[in-house]
Structure formats: C-alpha cells, structure tokens
Structure 1
C-alpha cells in the first residue's frame, strides 16, 4: 500500500519550534559520561533540567549543542550523543514506541507524538513500493548542524535499540552545506548521506514496517498512549474546546470509529458539558468529525501518491465505498472529481 500522511489539524508542530528539556538530557548525560564539567553550559539554559515539562526554543537547543561541541572539542558531537540515546530521553513518546509490537506501529507513534519532544515541522510519511520516506520540510543552516545530526542519528539509534538489530537506512538528507569531514556520520548512519537538500529525510526499507520489537507490551502501550495524548493537549492548550476537539479527532481518525464520550474524556470534560459546547456553536459531534474528515480528505486528495483506498484508511473508514459515500454527502460529488481538479 502506498500511503502518506502528516500530523493532524492544528498540529503542535505548527507552534514556535521548541525542544523538550528531557530530550536535551541526552547531551548532559553524554558529557557526564565523558567526565566533562557542563555546569556553566547547564546554567546558560535558564531552565531547571529536573522540570521534564520545561522547553527551550529550537535555536537555544542548537546553540547549546554548538557550545557543547566546543567544550568537548568534538566537531561531531551530535552523532556521538545520539549513539547513547535511550527511550527515557524521548519521554513518554519513547515508552509508547518501545511498547509497540512492530516498528511500523512505533513509526506511527513517532509521527503522532513528535511534538512532545521537538516541535519543528510536521513529519511527512510517504510509503511506496520499496521504501518509507520520513521528511521534515524545515530548512536550516549550519548553526543547526549538531542538533539536526543528533535528531536523525538519535532516531536511528533508538530504532536499532528497540528492534535489537544493527539496521541502517537507505539514505539520509540534510538541508545545509556538507561539513569538511564525514567519517563519523558515515560510520553512524552506514548509508549514503546527501546535503543541500530541500528537506531533512530518512529513507528506510519498507520491510522495516514489519520488524518486531524486543519489548512489546500492549497494556503499557495503551497506558502510555493515554498519557501522551494528555501531554499533547497540554502542549497545544487553547481555551477553545472545539479547537482542541478537532485536533484530537484528527489524531485519532486512523483508529476507527470515534465516540463523543471518548473525546470528552480526553478533553477532561463530561460528555454532557462537551455536548453543550457543541450546541452553543450550533454543531453536533457528527458534524464536527465530518468537518475534520472533509478537511483532511481534501488535503489527501491533492497527493497523487495516495490511492482512494489509502485515504479511506487514513480517515478511519473500513472500506473505500464508505469514504466515497461520505465525501459525496459533504461535497455533492465523488472524490475522484476533486482529485482530477487538483491534478489540473
């Protein structure tokens, strides 16, 4: 199946780019391992490293890595820190992914909850006949090199850790100029590396989807999923409950049928209170879900790499025919017509 999806409506990645302090602890853990005094570096952050909810801007995180590279006299610090990353550095996202049954499930969890770790740009996941392409359409310069290499190499280290296999991607892309030396990058990634590209990318074999993980735990995953959803809502907090509801619905569409009570519970309100809010806005729960589905369907229909069956799956329909009927009810015409118009 060819499929492509981005994170949902009002995505947390649309917020100002920021990084969770728990993620940056990987850097300080590495410096401690190297017996390098990072006291002044820690003070420069102006946040409490024990506060797992604290965040710093993307630029602050990049500059922190750059200062650490000078302190450690290590021009390849980003990939070296990444080699020591563990699930705890990813916070609840790490534990959700680790508890999944397959790597494919873990990749979907990473796509959904990325904003808990670093809010840069929506993860675009494209699946074709041979490969899976994960990309981030955010162009940054050499100031971000250490942080960017830490991000991608850390993801690879984590994948190797949760699968128990020394696997390597088909290729990785960076948006900035190539550094003078690439020995360590080639060693860690063990694949072709390209620079001056239009996006950050990691291209991996499609077979990775089916790889089993070494510590699957469905009960733990369910628990961590709920916690991650709560944290994501806190991260993207807004006073408008309908905005939060739309965001939550967009995140859960692929899970199948949505119920008002489940959404209300995730929003920490009673079903009756949520129903009243909907009525105040002249909207029913069915209309709210349909509105999100319609918006995302139109976005997906613009992507020629997605089949109508893929789109139906991404929107939570069990069959393409059910999606086609719903789309015609929303718009008055078949989804194929919208696709043809988008193709010009």
Structure 2
C-alpha cells in the first residue's frame, strides 16, 4: 500500500495546477520544490497537498473548483491526443490507456451497455483502510470535473451533459453547486465512481480532429508510458526516481532517497535486501535509457551523454563500451539507426 502511494503519480502540470489554484484564491502553497517538466509528484504527496489546500479553502466543492481550472497545457500530450481524435468514441477508447501520463491514479475502464457508455473506476485499497479518504473524495470529484470539462471542450460550441454520475463519497451537505455544474442526476455513496453517457454522444465529432497528428502524438505518448511503472514493486519505484535524478543531473543516492521519501540508510538496506547496490542500479537505468535514446536519430552521442548526466562524452563512451562491448556510435551503425 505504501508502495502504491509512492509509485502512482501525477505529472508536473498537476503540480502547476495546485500552485495556480493557491495563487487565484490567495492560499499558502504547500509546494516548495521546483518541479521539472518531466518530473512527477507521487500520489501520496498529491493527497497531502490536497489536504493542506482543502484545510485553507474549506469548501465541499473544492474538487469542482480545482478541476474547472485545468488547462490543456497542464494535462499535456494526452490532451493534444484527445483534440486530434475523430469523435468522442475515439476519445473514450484512448482515455483509459493514456490517462496515467498526466494522472496515474487507479485503472480507468470504459464499459458499454446497449444504450450507454460508462466511465468507471474503483477507489484504491488504501481508501478502504481509511487512509486519505477526504482527499481521495476530492480527487474523484476533481477527476470527474476534468472529464466533463474536456469532453465539452472537444466538441465546443456544442455541449453535452452526462446521463448520470455516481460518486463513492458521502452526500455533501450542500449539493447545489454539484448539481448546477454537472447538470445531471447525481448518486452518492455508490459502490464505485461512474460516469454515464448515452451511446449517440460517442458519434459527435471532435472539432479539431487530425488523424495524422494523432498518430504522431500516440507514438510519443507510448514512449512516455514506458517510463511510468505499472506495478508497486520496490524496483519500479527506485527506477522511476533514478530516472528523475538523472534528468535533474543529481544522481547521488541521497537525492534519490529524498525523492522516494525515505532515509538514505533505509534505501541502502532495501537495496541490499533485494540483492543490489545503488551504483549497480544507477548503471542499469542509464544503460536502459542509453539504448532507448540511441534509437532517436535526432540525438547526438553528446546529447545522450548529457541526458544521462555524464560530465563528459568520453565518460559515457567508456561506460557504454563496458556494457555492450562496442562504442555507442558503432552500436548505432550495427543496428542501422
């Protein structure tokens, strides 16, 4: 469960959204770390920040206010892919797979009945154990608001309403703002979070559809997905944070331990327990990234050495030759890249 909260994450755009919200409503931002564009915030830290901001904002409809502020730029490539889809049906087909690029929270399913499409997600296991319940309720409302807003942006100036929404949270004391915003029947204390849309909605065309651009963006999105862990293993958690460290040019173990949220000595203990050491794991991650970067002809060997946080290209060349037995330049030639 602890691994789940640390491995699941949101992109830097969601961090920017929280900061923008605090500025708009004159609140103290709980975020004191400057996030790089490819850096991610753990779900645990997201929930803690939601708690902090909610204590200041103190409104039941906080999730609606927050979700309604989101921009395409903050969602990132998944939003631009949505803009390029042919119709809302295509968008719903893509959404479950690519949503974790910007909000890696809980698996999203799109179910189909004879008359309706149902966007469905359960609450995480930690919620059932009483952890972060108010913050998760806010997150579910936020997530629903974002879906509602994005669907209507895709077909503007047309607009749709959902057939029904079910929330797992308790019924708010004042449902008026919820009802006014979503404009559909709302059910609370449900067994799962569900959004219902009539089938004919799926045939509505997206105004900016562009199948060629969609294909280009999809290839790029798939590369991003490969860097986001699917499991809750210690190994995935460590790899993810080493990648962040490399991108920030701070590859020391102390920085990685800080990013994971544990003392350095505990990280060293976990490494030993898993039969490895930090230097070996750093080398493994660098090797995997190097092979991926070498597939991109736009990147020079010098570019790749910088991306891997080597101070000199010669250091990268030596390391690569130790891994593969040949230089990175020759490896590229041998693989016709």
The TM-score with structure 1 as length reference comes to 0.60
CA distance in 2, matches of 1:237, 1:126: 21
Change (3 A) 1:53 1:170: same
Q: What is aligned with 1:245? A: none
Pair 1:158-2:150 in alignment: yes
Q: What is aligned with 1:81? A: 66
Q: What is aligned with 1:96? A: 81
In the TM superposition, residue 169 of structure 1 has moved relative to its aligned partner by: 0.6
Match of 2:186 among 193, 199, 211: 193
Match of 2:10 among 10, 19, 22: 19
Pair 1:218-2:211 in alignment: yes
Superposed CA RMSD in Å reads: 2.8
Query: Which of 1 and 2 has higher RCO (CA within 8 Å, sep 6+)?
Result: 1
Where in structure 2 are there 5+ consecutive unaligned residues?
128-132, 237-290, 296-337
Change (3 A) 1:201 1:64: same
Q: What is aligned with 1:236? A: 229
Deviations 1:265-308 (A, max 9, x none): x97788xxxxxxxxxxxxxxxxxxxxxxxxxxxxxxxxxxxxxx
CA distance in 1, matches of 2:56, 2:142: 17
CA distance in 1, matches of 2:166, 2:38: 30
Matches within 5 A, 1:280-291: none
Note if contact 2:6-2:42 (Cα within 8 Å) is conserved in structure 1: no
Match of 1:172 among 161, 165, 169: 165
SS across alignment from 1:235: coil
Note if contact 2:137-2:168 (Cα within 8 Å) is conserved in structure 1: no
Q: What is aligned with 1:42? A: 31
From the CA coordinates, give the structure whose radius of gyration is larger.
2
Q: What is aligned with 1:142? A: 134
In the TM superposition, residue 186 of structure 1 has moved relative to its aligned partner by: 1.1
- The number of equivalent residue pairs is 227
Change (3 A) 1:65 1:143: closer
Deviations 1:210-250 (A, max 9, x none): 1111211222212211110000011138999xxxxxxxxxx
Q: What is aligned with 1:227? A: 220
Change (3 A) 1:153 1:197: same
SS across alignment from 2:184: coil
Matches within 5 A, 1:238-277: none
